[in-house]
Homo-oligomer: A and B are copies of this chain.
């Protein structure tokens, strides 16, 4: 059995359940929604990721003996609540945007419908996953846009929490990265992994030549040799001498990459290595990748900036109660009025308005009633969990594949401005339609 995910949550989710159980309000049917009030500053769109992961962990969101013992010992909640938690398994319904979908401010990314107690409990867990994975996917998507067809490798594991690294690799692949360096991501999600050698491998050996010979002897001539440990020009020459014309690639990890890529390309060509690829990997982000557009670079390896969301390390999503039953059994829309954080009550529907050229023109959000869709418009909300049962197709390797396909189609629909690095407003407006 996988470790329980139920304590990956905030203390107050449980005290709220306790108080609601005592007050007789815990069983009120409720709808919570996940959305982002805004995109990170200057970003034109967001890319949703994490949905598959949160569905994978939902079955393990249970309170077993170890979790209950901790809660009892610490007096986090009382006896009545402990009994309720012991029986807890999520029995409600979750709908939302499919993983890999593009989103905008206000998009109802997840809708959790259940009793207040059940839906309340999931808040922190759902937000943790969506906020991190989406931050990485959204940053990754900008990098992919400016890489303009050149492959990108995710290699940021060492720059973020060891488990977050696995999620980051998964999110990057969903956004369009071709491979990851993270082995656990490869194992858990069937993702392609790649890697060759670091500077330490060169330093281990008595000369750069011996190191290259050792690497080529084991990994083959098609491997990529890291040529900047000592002197780049000498490194390139030695690499070609050792591996010959079949040398797969050389990697540049320091210095002025634009300038270096140019003369290294010329040098490789002059040595007859016209097919040897140039891989660059030094502190890249979307701006550095854009600056390298004109340089003869074949592959980008991206680390730090990718796994930290390139300036936006969290997606800023929130989880808000938007509607709930009263004692009379009537549904009541609810919203808070807090300054700068007001929410919009009522259960949302959402579609993307698509014009005759197949381009998205607006994110249309209906409140309480679903607005009528035009012929080309695309409904955005799909069932993810129905009466406690996770729907097929969203989890594991299959889920990642589906998310990649969804992302490809959704990016295709976006106006061209989405691919530009210019900071600006969301590339399409969010329009609220209130049928009431």
Contacting pair B132 A181 (CB below 8 A): no
Residues on B with C-beta less than 8 A from A195 are 10-15
From B124, B164, B219, B282, A158 is in contact (CB under 8 Å) with: B124
Pick from B125, B157, B159: contact of A162, CB below 8 A. B125
Q: How many copies does the complex hold?
A: 2
B165 pairs with A128, CB closer than 8 A = yes
Closest CB-CB distance, A406 to chain B, in whole Å?
22
Query: Is A51's beta carbon under 8 Å from chain B?
Result: no
A193 touches B74 (CB 8 A): yes
Residue from A19, A127, A133, A187 whose CB has the most chain B CB atoms within 10 Å: A19
The segment from A23-31, A95-103, A390-398 found at the interface with B is A23-31
Kindly state whether residue A214 has any CB partner on chain B within 8 Å: yes
Assess the A334–B203 pair: CB atoms within 8 A. Answer: yes
Partner of A338 from B32, B201, B228 at Cβ < 8 Å: B228
User: Which interface residue of A184, A210, A324 has the most chain B CB atoms within 10 A?
Assistant: A184
Among candidates B7, B22, B25, B219, residue contacting A204 with C-beta atoms closer than 8 Å: B25
Residues A178-206 near B (CB distance < 8 A): 181-184, 186-187, 193-206
Complex Cα distance, B274 from A264, in Å, reads: 72
Question: Which residues does chain B contribute within 8 Å of A161, judged by CB atoms?
Answer: 128-129, 132-133, 160-161, 163-164, 167
Q: Contact partner of A197 among B16, B28, B124, CB < 8 A?
A: B16
Segment at the B interface, from A313-321, A380-388, A424-432: A313-321
Of B9, B167, B321, the residue contacting A199 (CB under 8 A) is: B321
Q: Within 8 Å CB of A167, what residues of B?
A: 161
Minimal Cβ-Cβ distance residue in B for A57? B162
A197 to B120, CA, bound (A): 11
Q: Does A409 count as interface, using CB distance less than 8 angstroms?
A: no
**Is A377 part of the contact surface with B, judged by Cβ < 8 Å?**
no
What distance in Å separates the Cβ of A62 from its nearest Cβ neighbour in chain B? Answer: 14
A46 CB to closest chain B CB (Å) equals 15
Q: Is there a chain B Cβ closer than 8 Å to A116's Cβ?
A: yes
Q: Report if A10-B182 is in contact (Cβ < 8 Å); known contacts: A201-B16, A229-B338, A338-B254.
A: yes
Instruction: Point out the residue from B15, B32, B204, B337 that lies within 8 Å of A20, measured CB to CB.
Output: B204
CB A334 to nearest CB in B, in angstroms, measures 4
Q: Is the pair B341, A186 in contact by a Cβ cutoff of 8 Å?
A: no
Contacts of A187 in B (CB 8 A): 7, 66-67, 70
- Give the residues in chain B near A76, CB-CB below 8 Å: 183, 193
Q: Give the docked Cα–Cα distance between A200 and B122 (Å).
A: 13
Instruction: Check A253 for interface membership: any CB of B closer than 8 A.
Output: yes
A217, B194: Cα distance in complex, Å: 58
A194 partner, pick from B11, B193, B196, B228, beta carbons under 8 A: B11
The 0/1 profile, CB within 8 Å of B marked 1, for residues 355-372 of chain A is: 000000000000000000
| A187-B164 Cα distance, complex, nearest whole Å | 20
Whether the pair B28, A204 counts as a contact (CB closer than 8 A) is: yes
A residues near B (Cβ < 8 Å) are 3, 5, 7-16, 18-20, 22-23, 25, 28, 30, 32, 57, 66-67, 70-71, 74, 76, 78, 116, 120, 123-125, 127-129, 131-133, 155, 157-167, 181-184, 186-187, 193-206, 210, 213-215, 217-219, 228-231, 253-256, 282, 304, 307-309, 313-314, 316, 319-321, 324, 326-327, 334-341
Question: 13 A-B residue contacts at CB 8 Å?
Answer: A8-B166, A9-B157, A11-B181, A11-B182, A14-B183, A23-B213, A66-B187, A124-B157, A127-B159, A128-B162, A129-B162, A161-B161, A253-B341
Q: Which 9 A-B pairs have the closest CB atoms?
A: A12-B195, A11-B195, A23-B214, A161-B164, A255-B339, A254-B338, A127-B158, A200-B321, A128-B162
Task: List 7 extra interface pairs beyond A9-B184, A14-B183, CB under 8 A.
Answer: A8-B163, A16-B200, A19-B219, A124-B157, A132-B161, A206-B326, A206-B327
